[in-house]
A and B are shown apart, each in its own frame.
Chain A
Amino acid sequence: MMSDTHINAAGLDFQALNKKIRQTAGDIQIEGCCGQRYIGAGQSGRTITIHGTPGNALGAYMDGAVIVVRGNAQDAVGDTMNDGRIIVHGNAGDALGYGIRGGAIYIRGGAGYRTGIHMKEYQEKKPVIVVGGRAGSFLGEYMAGGLIIVLGIGAEGDVPVGNFTGTGMHGGAIYIRSSVQPTCLPAQVTLEEALPEDKRAIAAPVAEYAGLFGADADELLSGTFYLLRPNAKNPYHTLYAAHLR
């Protein structure tokens, strides 16, 4: 088995670093990363491990690679990602999984505002975002498909998401592990407590989260989850064409 190639990112701007990554075959370890954008953009078939703080749009348009961040990530992680995995052993910034259409993102800690904005699915492409801690307001804004799970670890007794979750949501599902019912929700979503059969849909991602970060999957799954889905009555149905009934 080939060992990883190490790249020292110190002093490299984002273009130089990304060029170096593209010119290096196989799995790599990036040391001393500090704010370089677009790392792993469009990449497939390799693992990129990052030490330090990667810049915005980490793994944008990624197509099957695996990115592991040994620290925090910034904004727009996995922007428009098509396939692969992003694993962050810390927190993520705003607009995590912006427009993600495939693959999975696992965040050990919390995420910022607008996680999963414009997330979508098509046939076998069903993206998954798992946030271990809290997520900010506008979680799943304009969500059209896929699965978001917020585990609320460390937020026990409190709602682990901000306000306006699911604003404009019209597809997919959001699971929030919380003993307190989320409030301040828009009219376009329905909220219910997840039944055991609902939880089957999240067993595999929760187990994967637990395996990655050393949590107890059974304990997590035994907690109360609230399930948000688009309102089946579809309030948009006649929004632009009220006469077409």
Chain B
Amino acid sequence: MIQEGQARIPSGCAISGIFSKSGERFSGADIIQSITVMHDRSNGLGGGFAAYGVYPEYKDYYAFHLFYDNQQAQKECEDFLHRHFDIANCSEIPTKRTEGVTDAPLIWRYFGAPHTTRLSASQLDEREYVAKCVFRINGSYPGAYVFSSGKNMGVFKGVGFPEDIARFYMLDTYEGHCFTAHGRYPTNTPGWWGGAHPFALLDYSVVHNGEISSYDANRRAIEMYGYKCDLLTDTEVIAYIIDYLHRKKGLTFWEIAQVIAAPFWQTIETMPEEERQTHEYLRSMFSSQLITGPFSIIAGFEGGMMALNDRLKLRSMVVGEKGDRVYISSEEAAIRVIEPDLDRIWSPKGGELVLVNLEGGTA
């Protein structure tokens, strides 16, 4: 089978996100309803969700979600996991047979904490240790693929329409304070389970509508910092760029937005001195992380959610607010279907960061 990376993938796609600022947990039913309205933006070759706050009973453990092609791959990968982590719990992720969802791989979930001795011997900080383990599995264990590796969050994705994928994983039985969703429209590849959105590393997850013109430049740059773009899809590189800029470089999400959707030089020239210096610094220091081409993205992370359009705003995005809830979607109808009576609704400008944080949160 031709996999991602052996062909190009321009995509249409739909994205949606819901966030409770107070941290109130709600069922996945709302995000399913939202993404279902945008059915026609997908073609059945990929759907997925990221859900935050869904594993409070294991919140101190990394929740690894894995696809396996076969039991041999599972066995070898589990040996690796047990060598590197104390596994508190492991089980198959509950799924149900769903029309429109076929050829599912083996799908397993592990709650693990790094082995103390191994971690200290590695001289890495804990999150870097976990990230390195994820890249090791995805790069060196054929038939095994880690598609979720954060704490108290999980990615649920596959090949199918997003509403079918939600039924398959019984997403409405999960409760969290933040959900993001993606409906995919790849036109040049067969689509496979690992290639569906969201793409996630640690607690960072990204859903993306668009196509990155600068993909290869971004990929070469990020690979210099130890990331491996094993999936060769453009969205994967966005997840790594956000992880790199936030976790490794300590940039704020506002600064990250100015890097990946930087204002034009001609716009920067018109800014007041201090603002101009900030933008000149960010554009100069992180020029390889500038993402060009059309995109709208929603990124989830521990304690918050961000959304961003490309600077030319070549993809649509609408934001709605009602009480403590923030809704972000490719189409207004996908917000109105769950909350017809909004306090406020608006369209962010190209390159304008939308950021929501948990009240008293960590982001």
Task: Among B266, B332, B337, B350, find the residue whose CB has the most chain A CB atoms closer than 10 A.
Answer: B332
Interface residues of A in 74-108 (CB under 8 A from B): 74-75, 93-94
A29 within 8 A of B: no
Contact call B347/A112, Cβ cutoff below 8 A:
yes
Interface string of B177-195 (1 = CB under 8 A from A): 0000000000000000000
Contact call A72/B332, Cβ cutoff below 8 A:
yes
CA–CA, A14 and B40, complex, Å: 9
Contact call B316/A93, Cβ cutoff below 8 A:
yes
With both beta carbons as reference points, the residue of chain B lying nearest to A162 in the complex is identified as B349
User: Which B residues are in CB contact (< 8 Å) with A93?
Assistant: 316, 318, 332, 347
With both beta carbons as reference points, the residue of chain B lying nearest to A72 in the complex is identified as B332
CA–CA, A77 and B18, complex, Å: 26
Contact call B40/A94, Cβ cutoff below 8 A:
no
Contact call B316/A94, Cβ cutoff below 8 A:
yes
**Given A35-B38, A37-B40, A93-B316, A74:B345 Cβ within 8 A:** no
Contact call B336/A113, Cβ cutoff below 8 A:
no
Contact call B336/A94, Cβ cutoff below 8 A:
no
A136 within 8 A of B: yes
B331 within 8 A of A: yes
B333 within 8 A of A: yes
Contact call B332/A137, Cβ cutoff below 8 A:
no
CA–CA, A209 and B226, complex, Å: 58
CB < 8 Å neighbour of A52 from B267, B336, B350? B336
CA–CA, A162 and B349, complex, Å: 9
A55 within 8 A of B: yes
* Minimum CB–CB distance for A145 against chain B, Å: 24
Interface residues of B in 323-363 (CB under 8 A from A): 331-334, 336-337, 345, 347, 349-350
User: Which B residues are in CB contact (< 8 Å) with A13?
Assistant: 39-40
CA–CA, A95 and B267, complex, Å: 22
CA–CA, A52 and B331, complex, Å: 13
Contact call A137/B349, Cβ cutoff below 8 A:
yes
Contact call B313/A75, Cβ cutoff below 8 A:
no
A residues contacting the other copy or chain, number (CB 8 A): 24
Q: How large is the interface on B (under 10, 10 to 19, 20 to 34, 35 or more residues)?
A: 20 to 34
Interface residues of A in 111-140 (CB under 8 A from B): 112-113, 136-138
CA–CA, A184 and B334, complex, Å: 34
User: Which A residues are in CB contact (< 8 Å) with B347?
Assistant: 93-94, 112, 136
B106 within 8 A of A: no
CA–CA, A57 and B103, complex, Å: 35
Interface string of B16-42 (1 = CB under 8 A from A): 000000000000000000000111100
A183 within 8 A of B: yes
- Chain A contact residues: over half helix, strand or loop, or mixed? loop
User: Which B residues are in CB contact (< 8 Å) with A74?
Assistant: 316, 331-333
Contact call A53/B313, Cβ cutoff below 8 A:
no
User: Which B residues are in CB contact (< 8 Å) with A136?
Assistant: 313, 347, 349
Contact call B349/A35, Cβ cutoff below 8 A:
no
B284 within 8 A of A: no
CB < 8 Å neighbour of A35 from B266, B267, B334, B345? B334
B270 within 8 A of A: yes
Contact call A55/B349, Cβ cutoff below 8 A:
no
**Given A74-B331, A113-B350, A183-B270, A34:B345 Cβ within 8 A:** no
**Given A113-B350, A162-B349, A184-B267, A35:B333 Cβ within 8 A:** yes
* Minimum CB–CB distance for B78 against chain A, Å: 44
**Given A94-B313, A94-B316, A35:B350 Cβ within 8 A:** no
Contact call A34/B37, Cβ cutoff below 8 A:
yes
CA–CA, A35 and B183, complex, Å: 15
Contact call A35/B337, Cβ cutoff below 8 A:
yes
* Minimum CB–CB distance for B344 against chain A, Å: 12
Contact call B349/A34, Cβ cutoff below 8 A:
no
CA–CA, A72 and B345, complex, Å: 10
With both beta carbons as reference points, the residue of chain B lying nearest to A112 in the complex is identified as B347
CA–CA, A116 and B312, complex, Å: 16
User: Which B residues are in CB contact (< 8 Å) with A163?
Assistant: 267
Contact call B313/A113, Cβ cutoff below 8 A:
yes
With both beta carbons as reference points, the residue of chain A lying nearest to B318 in the complex is identified as A93
CA–CA, A141 and B312, complex, Å: 12
User: Which B residues are in CB contact (< 8 Å) with A55?
Assistant: 331, 333
Contact call A137/B350, Cβ cutoff below 8 A:
yes
Contact call B313/A35, Cβ cutoff below 8 A:
no
**Given A35-B38, A35-B334, A112-B347, A137:B267 Cβ within 8 A:** no
CA–CA, A113 and B316, complex, Å: 9
CA–CA, A112 and B347, complex, Å: 7
Task: Provide a sorted-by-A list of 28 A–B residue pairs whose CB atoms are within 8 angstroms.
Answer: A13-B40, A34-B333, A34-B336, A34-B337, A35-B334, A35-B337, A52-B336, A53-B332, A53-B333, A55-B333, A74-B331, A75-B316, A75-B331, A93-B318, A93-B347, A94-B316, A112-B316, A112-B347, A113-B312, A113-B313, A113-B350, A136-B349, A137-B312, A137-B313, A137-B349, A138-B312, A163-B267, A184-B266
Residue numbers of A with Cβ under 8 A of B are 13-14, 34-35, 37, 52-56, 72, 74-75, 93-94, 112-113, 136-138, 162-163, 183-184
- Lowest 3 CB-CB distances: which A-B pairs, in order? A35-B333, A53-B333, A113-B313
16 more CB-based (< 8 A) A-B contacts, given A14-B40, A52-B333, A112-B313? A35-B331, A37-B40, A53-B333, A53-B336, A54-B333, A72-B345, A74-B316, A75-B316, A93-B318, A112-B316, A113-B312, A136-B347, A137-B312, A137-B313, A183-B270, A184-B270
